[in-house]
Structure 1
Amino acid sequence: MVAADVRLSGALTALLAALPSLIEEMERTVPGEIDDPHCSRLIDLTDW
């Protein structure tokens, strides 16, 4: 399962289309501990 917090004013359609490839880019993965037990990886898309 993939969840994303996005701004409704942004390019939501483009993000949804690109999301499968974006989550596979390991350079976007944020290091550190994740406090959410349902989250296996945190990916920074703030600059996308």
Structure 2
Amino acid sequence: MRLYMDSADDISGVIAADVRPGGALTALLAALPSLLGEEWRASEAVDDPHCRYLVDLTDW
């Protein structure tokens, strides 16, 4: 599942996060703000016109 997040404080644009819907999804949502800050997880979202960066959290 792909979650889209935007913040008025962040100038980098919309960030998308791919997550696996099941298991520890509640823990993942709680940790999401800090995980999005880890730049090594992000990549350019060249295949998605709705976001600027994509973070793959399917293995988290």
Query: Which structure has greater strand proportion?
Result: 2
Structure 1, unpaired ranges of 5+: none
Return the TM-score normalized by structure 2: 0.58
Identity across the alignment (%):
66
Instruction: Between the two structures, name the one with larger relative contact order (CA 8 Å, sep ≥ 6).
Output: 2
Return the TM-score normalized by structure 1: 0.67
Query: Which structure has greater helix proportion?
Result: 1
In angstroms, what is the RMSD of aligned CA positions? 2.1
Matched length: 47
Structure 2, unpaired ranges of 5+: 6-15
